[in-house]
């Protein structure tokens, strides 16, 4: 497991932990997926229990992420945040230097 290609903010971490607790999930891991074209951010998160064969495993801010190998380059430099307004939503953004 190398350095994580993505960054998880504290707000996103808290929401993931709260959601996992509400569902009785004790081993928190997230899967990052591409969403169909035309959706705002292009990514989605899903609670996941185990990696799939061929997944890359990374940790950001104490949360484990499972990524398909082909997706690693596409998420490099991605920050995942959580904004609670309007029912709450994850926000995916690329940090530009």
Those residues of the chain that have pLDDT short of 70 are 1, 37-41, 96-97
For the stretch 15-36, pLDDT in tens is 999 988 888 887 789 999 887 7
CATH (domain of 84): 2.60.300.12
Can you name the residues that pair with 42 across neighbouring β-strands? none
Instruction: With respect to residue 58, please indicate whether it lies within any of the assigned structural domains.
Output: yes
d(CA 24, CA 86): 25
Instruction: With respect to residue 82, please indicate whether it lies within any of the assigned structural domains.
Output: yes
Range of the domain at 26: 6-92
> Based on the number of CB atoms within 10 Å of its own CB, is 81 exposed (0-12), middle (13-18) or buried (19 or more)?
middle
Instruction: With respect to residue 51, please indicate whether it lies within any of the assigned structural domains.
Output: yes
Instruction: With respect to residue 97, please indicate whether it lies within any of the assigned structural domains.
Output: no
Q: What is the pTM of this model?
A: 0.85
d(CA 66, CA 23): 19
d(CA 82, CA 53): 29
Instruction: With respect to residue 36, please indicate whether it lies within any of the assigned structural domains.
Output: yes
Number of domains composing the chain: 1
Instruction: With respect to residue 1, please indicate whether it lies within any of the assigned structural domains.
Output: no
The reported pLDDT for the residue numbered 35 is: 78
Instruction: With respect to residue 67, please indicate whether it lies within any of the assigned structural domains.
Output: yes
């Amino acid at each position: 497991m190398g350095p994580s290609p993505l960054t998880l903010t504290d707000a996103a971490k808290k929401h993931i932990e709260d959601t996992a607790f509400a569902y009785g999930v004790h081993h928190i891991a997230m899967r990052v997926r591409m969403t169909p074209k035309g959706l705002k951010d292009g990514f989605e998160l899903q609670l996941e229990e185990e990696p799939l064969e061929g997944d890359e495993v990374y940790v950001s801010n104490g949360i484990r992420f499972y990524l398909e190998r082909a997706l690693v380059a596409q998420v490099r430099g991605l920050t995942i945040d959580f904004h609670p307004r309007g029912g709450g939503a994850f926000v995916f953004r690329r940090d530009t230097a």
